Amino acid sequence: MDAESGPGMGSAKGAGTDSGTEPSGAGPTPTAETSPGTDPTPTPTAPDPRAPHRPLRRALTALSLVLLLLVLALLTAEGALRVNYSGEPAPGTRTRGQDALWLGHAWVDGRKGEADVRELAGRLRGTGVRDLYVHSGPLEDDGTLPDADYPKARWLIGALHRELPEVRVQAWLGDVVASEGPKGLRLERPATRSAILASTRRILAAGFQGAHFDLEPLHSGDRDYLTLLDGLHTLTRAHHALLSVAAHQIDPLPGFHSFWGATTGHPKWWSQAYFGQVARRVDQIAVMSYDTMQPLPSLYGGYVAQQTSLALEVTPGSTQLLMGLPFYHENRFGHWARAETVPAAVRGVRLGLSRTDARRARFGVALYVDFAATDADWRAYREGWVE
- Find the range with the poorest average confidence among 57-61, 294-298, 365-369: 57-61
Distance CA 380, CA 387 (A): 10
Query: Residue 50: exposed, middle, or buried by beta-carbon count in 10 A (0-12, 13-18, 19+)?
Result: exposed
Mean pLDDT of the chain: 88
Q: What angle (nearest 5°) sits at the alpha carbon of residue 178, between those of residues 172 and 181?
A: 135
List, for residues 152-183, the tens digit of each pLDDT value: 999 999 999 999 999 999 999 999 999 999 99
Q: 282-308, pLDDT tens digit by residue? A: 999 999 999 999 999 999 999 999 999
> Considering just the CA atoms, what is the radius of gyration of the chain in Å?
36
With bands split at pLDDT 50, 70 and 90, how would you rate the model's confidence at 71? low
Please report the sign of the dihedral spanned by the C-alpha atoms of residue 333, residue 338, residue 342, residue 344. Answer: negative
pLDDT tier, 75 (very low <50, low <70, confident <90, very high otherwise): low
Check residue 197 and give left, alpha or beta (phi > 0: left; psi -120 to 50: alpha): alpha
pLDDT of residue 42: 60
Cα 349 to Cα 347: distance, rounded to the nearest angstrom? 5
Amino acid in position 38: T
Task: Tell me if residue 99 falls in helix, strand or coil.
Answer: strand
Task: Give buried/exposed letters for 162-193 (b at 16+ CB in 10 A, else e).
Answer: ebbeebbbbbbbbbbbbbeeeebbbbeeeebb
pTM equals 0.82
Report how far residue 273's alpha carbon sits from residue 251's, in angstroms, rounded to the nearest whole number.
10
| Residue 116 to residue 155: CA distance in whole angstroms | 13
Amino acid occupying residue 2: D
3-class DSSP state of 63: helix
In the predicted model, what is the mean pLDDT of residues 250-272?
Answer: 87
Number of Cβ atoms within 10 Å of the Cβ of 41 = 11
